Amino acid sequence: MLSWFKNKFGDALEIYAEQGIVSLEAQSPQQENGARFFVRLKDGLSRTRQTFVRQIDTLFLGKKKIDAQLLDDLEEILIMADIGATTTQELLEKTREQVKRNALGDSLALKIALKEMILAYLLKAERPADRVLPAQGPFVIMVLGVNGVGKTTTIAKLAHKFTQSRKKVLLVAADTFRAAASEQLQLWGKRVGVEVVAQQAGADPSSVVYDALDYARPRNFDVVLVDTAGRLHTKINLMEELKKIKRVMDKKVPGAPHEILLVLDATTGQNAISQTRLFNEAVEVTGLALTKLDGTAKGGIVINICHEFNIPIRFIGIGEQMEDLRDFEPHEFVEALFAEGEA
Ligand SMILES: Nc1nc2c(ncn2[C@@H]2O[C@H](COP(=O)(O)OP(=O)(O)O)[C@@H](O)[C@H]2O)c(=O)[nH]1
Ligand SMILES: [Mg+2]
């Protein structure tokens, strides 16, 4: 299966082995990378695994078969894992059907069944990268999200990925609300070695974007990443501002933005759901980046989001380092979540 990044940017570094990604005989640096990442992903998901998958094992302590009490307990586990009420009910319903057919005998069978159902949800939300790089002009990615979710960091990590595959990247500081936001982006630009377009604090974000695209077009930038403001206390203004930025982009580069990437903080659990709804209503979100999956017990939110919105998760963040942002790969994610052994 081709990842979004690889589809669009054919010479990207990532090569994902599907199931056997943990193979000890990694043959290439890329595969070694993949194997290392899987271990990190597995580690990152350990708290989610504790509150979810490991709890399923305890359901069968002193029990021989699946009864009403066991299903009640399973319901609680699914809710606690931030899988969400609707998704939980659906999973329970499907589990009940399988129990009726005597298809589930023990904890292992139940886990395998849940794993398959969850994978199906994640795959359903996947969307192939059908949009190719524009024939002319840059590929414009508009990045949205509430303050603190990891927008700027994610942009830096993406810029790093793109430069690694020899794309010419421009960063645009359209979060003009806070002076620190633009400074932070400029700092990242220096670190990653890409140009940043910024104006003084308080400038109109749409005009920053307008000027930035003017700058980008004749200079053959491949990718333009636009950082936006995330102050939610002025919700209506923010949404209007985002709509306006989107219109300006389309005017300057027809078809842009080519991707509207919403960044969500996995540690906020259900809040991520309401944020997705809010932003998606204002501007049509085309992809998600889920940050801070490392160290949270709320990793089940990934399942919840895929089921609720059908918006593909493009990237997941599992740490603060450059290489800690990776393409989201449903098989890999489910394998890491259900990994047996320690933790
Ligand atoms: N542990 C962890 N921290 C992250 C991740 N992504 C971002 N962060 C941290 O989250 C904080 C806020 O990030 P920032 O990019 O400034 O958020 P913004 O306000 O949305 O632009 C920073 O300290 C980042 O280092 C991640 O995947 N894992
Ligand atoms: Mg920021």
In this model, does residue 285 exceed pLDDT 70? yes
* Closest ligand (CA of 145): 1
pLDDT confidence of residue 23 = 31
Give 201 Cα–ligand 2 centroid separation in angstroms. 13
In this model, does residue 134 exceed pLDDT 80? no
3-state SS assignment for residue 25? coil
In this model, does residue 26 exceed pLDDT 60? no
* Closest ligand (CA of 147): 1
pLDDT confidence of residue 3 = 57
pLDDT confidence of residue 71 = 92
Give mean pLDDT, residues 294-320: 90
Q: How far apart are CA 337 and CA 331, in angstroms?
A: 10
Q: For strands 325-327 and 313-317, give the pairing.
A: antiparallel
Please tell me which residue, 220 or 16, carries the higher pLDDT value: 220
Contacts (Cβ under 8 Å, ≥6 apart) of 288: 261, 262, 263, 264, 276, 305, 311, 312, 313, 314, 315
In this model, does residue 120 exceed pLDDT 80? yes
301, 320, 326: residue to mutate for ligand 1 pocket, most atoms within 8 A of CB? 320
Digit-coded pLDDT (tens) for 330-339? 999 999 999 9
Q: How far apart are CA 172 and CA 170, in angstroms?
A: 7
User: Following DSSP, what letter does each residue of 196-210 receive, concatenated?
Assistant: EE---TT--HHHHHH
pLDDT confidence of residue 130 = 47
In this model, does residue 29 exceed pLDDT 80? no
Give 154 Cα–ligand 2 centroid separation in angstroms. 9
In this model, does residue 135 exceed pLDDT 80? no
Confidence tier at 21 by pLDDT (50, 70, 90): very low
Beta bridge partners of 195: 170
Digit-coded pLDDT (tens) for 234-273? 777 899 999 999 999 999 999 999 999 999 999 998 899 9
What are the pocket residues of ligand 1 if the criterion is a CB atom closer than 6 Å to any ligand atom? 145, 147-153, 230, 291-292, 294, 317-320, 324
- Nearest-CA residue for atom 25 of ligand 1: 320
- Nearest-CA residue for atom 1 of ligand 1: 319
pLDDT confidence of residue 4 = 56
Count CB-CB contacts under 10 A for residue 250: 13
Beta bridge partners of 107: none
* Closest ligand (CA of 325): 1
In this model, does residue 287 exceed pLDDT 90? yes
Class of CATH domain 139-332: alpha beta
* Nearest in space to 189 (alpha carbons), one of 163, 171, 207: 171
* Nearest in space to 257 (alpha carbons), one of 293, 286, 237: 286
Give 148 Cα–ligand 2 centroid separation in angstroms. 7
80: tokens are 């606690």
Beta bridge partners of 290: 264, 316
pLDDT confidence of residue 340 = 82
3-state SS assignment for residue 161? helix
Count CB-CB contacts under 10 A for residue 11: 9
Bond before 134 cis per omega within 30 degrees: no
pLDDT confidence of residue 7 = 55
